[in-house]
Chains A and B, each alone.
Chain A
Amino acid sequence: MKVKLIFLWLLVGIPLLWGVFKTLQNALKLFQ
């Protein structure tokens, strides 16, 4: 159950973190 839990959270967490990273990359232009 624990492995499934970690796997599922990674499955939703990784794309979300990628999206946040890409957004922050763009947002930096605002302060350059």
Chain B
Amino acid sequence: MKPSFLDRQNTVAPPGFDRFLVPPAALAVHLSIGQVYAFSTFNLPLTKLIGLKASAPGDWSLAEVGWTFSIAIGILGLSAAVFGRWVERVGPRKSMFTAAVCFFGGFMVASLGIHLHQLWLLYLGYGVLGGCGLGIGYISPVSTLIKWFPDRPGMATGMAIMGFGGGALIAAPLSLLLMEHFKTAHSNGVLETFVTMGVIYFMYMMIGVYTVRVPAPDWKPSGWVPSVQPKPLVTSSNVALEVAWRTPQFWLLWVVLCMNVTAGIGVLSQASPMIQEIFNGKVSPSAAAGFVGLISLFNMGGRFFWAGASDYIGRRNTYMVFFLLGILLYSTVPTLGHLGSVPLFVAAFCIILSMYGGGFATIPAYLKDVFGTLHVGAIHGRLLTAWAVAGVLGPVLVNYIRQYQIEGGVPKAQAYSVTMYIMCVLLLIGFLCNFAMRAVDEKFHHRAPSTGNGQPASVKP
């Protein structure tokens, strides 16, 4: 059968192809799916579909609508783990296309749910179908970028994963603009915004589908000579997916990612009320929204900065910085709160959130160092289950401990202090796991010979 446009065989780059075309292709996908982080802009309008100005009887509650985001993130982790191997087999173009179809389909089914006012259709559409688009889209360009940039894998994957953080910065104001544009006397504009965004993101993701290419098996950057000097933890061999996830290194990295994400995501989910409660009366709700925007910006920038830096200082050392600096900053936050210093408090959280983003962006290159490039996309997919766990653990820790403290008579301004110290403990666990990382035993290495760019001569993912 003749291979289709989407097949891996048709995506092998011709000689002279500029590898710097691949990062914008990856960014087109990640900037689109990063929209999920701005889903909260729809929360309130979705609770006023009947009442329009205020929630009416029969309207969905905020808690019901809130589940949509949680389902989408949960399915992201699951689908990345389940479809990782398929993504490796079919290549980036078909997987990006599938992600685009799922994400678009998710918006359309959710729109139908809004039109019919059926909550389960919103969950099924944006949560399940859209979540599959998120998971497949998230991992689809990662191994391709690592193969194109064997000299700078951290920078390359950091650039793409930065897009996932940046997607929210675009989607939040875009959603508000569209809802304002489509608002009429009979509609608050959410339905029309969902349809429009689905179409816009589908077309935008197709830019990535058309542009992405995989390097030829014997390709390597001109003038680049793979380092012959062995570096600790960096392997020139490959470890297959079935073997990789049975190694202690996989689970150490799983805990490393989980602890780093838990520490950041808890704060991210409660940033606005937290700063208002700690600086009672000094920070208005609109200023708190500015704080959320600012830490989101650092979350995005940190992805590129830290992943790029890891190419020079090493992945293990980068995570050492995350954990040690994280412990230092989290332990000082309660003092900064007592001192009433808003700028120092904001600065501390900007650095913390940059390391949260940096953790996501550095992990693919860390996996490449430890397990090689053969199944790095699929292994990355499996590791993202740590994100799903952290996504529940982080907010639960912050919310419940705060509640427990307040019920115990602790003033609201001090209710976060214990949480900050617990975050320090989590980061210490992450530090110890990262410290315990060693190179994978040779008995786990894949037998196929490797080519110059780290790819096995015969890839049979």
Contact = CB atoms under 8 A, between A and B. Distances in A.
Q: Do A and B bind each other?
A: yes
A23 B169 contact: yes
B297 A27 contact: yes
Contacts of B18: 1-2, 5
Contacts of A23: 169, 172, 293-294, 296-297
B289 A29 contact: yes
Nearest to B167: A19
A22 B290 CA distance: 10
B346 A8 contact: no
A22 B171 CA distance: 11
A30 to B, nearest CB: 4
Contact of A27 (B31, B171, B290): B290
Interface in B294-320: 294, 296-297
Determine the main DSSP class of A at the interface with B: helix
Interface string A1-32: 11011001101100110111011101111111
Nearest to A28: B290
A1 B163 CA distance: 23
Nearest to B286: A29
Determine the main DSSP class of B at the interface with A: helix
Interface in B13-53: 16-18, 20-21, 24-25, 27-28, 31
A29 B294 CA distance: 11
Contacts of B287: 29-30, 32
Contact of A30 (B16, B31, B290): B290
B169 A16 contact: yes
Interface of A: 1-2, 4-5, 8-9, 11-12, 15-16, 18-20, 22-24, 26-32
18 contacts: A1-B16, A1-B17, A2-B18, A5-B21, A8-B24, A16-B170, A18-B173, A19-B168, A20-B166, A22-B172, A22-B173, A23-B296, A24-B293, A28-B290, A29-B284, A29-B289, A31-B343, A32-B287
Interface of B: 16-18, 20-21, 24-25, 27-28, 31, 163, 166, 168-173, 207, 211, 283-284, 286-291, 293-294, 296-297, 342-343, 346
